[in-house]
Structures are given as C-alpha cells and as structure tokens.
Amino acid sequence: MGCSGYQGEIAAAVLDAAAVWPVPASLIRAVILRESAFNPGALSPAGAIGLMQVLPSNARRLGMTPQGLWNPASNILAGTRMLAVLLQHYQGDVISALVAYNARARRPFAPLPENLETPGYVRGVLRSWSAFQRCEAQARAARAQSDLGVGDRTDS
C-alpha cells in the first residue's frame, strides 16, 4: 500500500471528519481501506453503504438519512462519528471499537471473537493504520525539511 492511495474529495473529507471527531485521520483512512477500498459506491450484502460501510439503520442515529450515506463526505463524517462514540465507550480500546464497528459490541479489552471475519478485519485495519501513520510521518518530515530549506542547494 502506497502513501497516495486516495485523493481529492475523499482526502479532504477524512481531514474534515478528523477535525470534528477525536479520531486520527490515519485510522479513518484504514477503516475506509478495509471497508470499501476507497470505493464510494460500495454496497455490502448486509446493505452497508459507501466508503465507511454505514448501515442505513444507523443513519438516523448519526443525524442523516440513509440516502445521505451515498455522499462520500457525509458517509465519512457518519462513520467517523460512530468510531468516535465507540472509542469513547471502550475508553480508547481501539480493538474493541473496531470489533464493535465491524460486528457487535463486546466487553472492553476482551479477546478477539473467534469468527471468520472479525479477527482478519481488525488485524487488517491495524496494519493499514500503522502504514498510514508512517505515511503521515514521512509527509510531515518532508514538509519540515522543505520549510527549513533543507535539500535546496544553489551552487554559485
């Protein structure tokens, strides 16, 4: 996975959602990658919609209509809100929040459920989250070097 796996509207919506809800942009990107592979038109067999695969039954609880979930920015905002609520509920336990986002609620810090999908889902999101964190660190370092003029040499 490269560092530039998404662009434009999706990238902006991720940053906007991370500014509204206390969820790192890198975690939002990781969930989007695992849920929909950055496909805004994704529709699961269970009826989950869009980039973050939000169920229509959750739309009203998240302050929108099910049809609004097809809008990428709205979908990201809704999914990020769900993640923020789960992270708060599970007192920062990211694994428990991801299990609940993917499957169902559980006791905080309980072991991963032994089913076919959830352990792979959680491990995949965590791997992608780590990769996106590295990408963000590289981008910050490159910006800092650029701001300092490091690497800009003009020989006279």
Catalytic member of 35, 114, 117, 136: 35
Angle at 88 between CA 112 and CA 128, to 5 degrees: 55
Read off the tokens for 125: 């999101």
Per-residue model confidence as pLDDT tens digits over 79-100 = 999 999 999 999 999 999 999 9
pLDDT band at 46 (very low <50, low <70, confident <90, very high): very high
Query: Long-range CB contacts (< 8 A, 24+ apart) of 100-109?
Result: 101/31
Whole-prediction pTM value? 0.86
Rounded mean pLDDT, 92-115: 86
Query: What six digits make up the tokens of 39?
Result: 């496909």
Model pLDDT for residues 51-75, shown as the tens digit of each residue: 999 999 999 888 899 999 999 999 9
Length of the chain: 156
Does the annotation mark 35 as catalytic? yes
Query: 8-148 in CATH: which number?
Result: 1.10.530.10
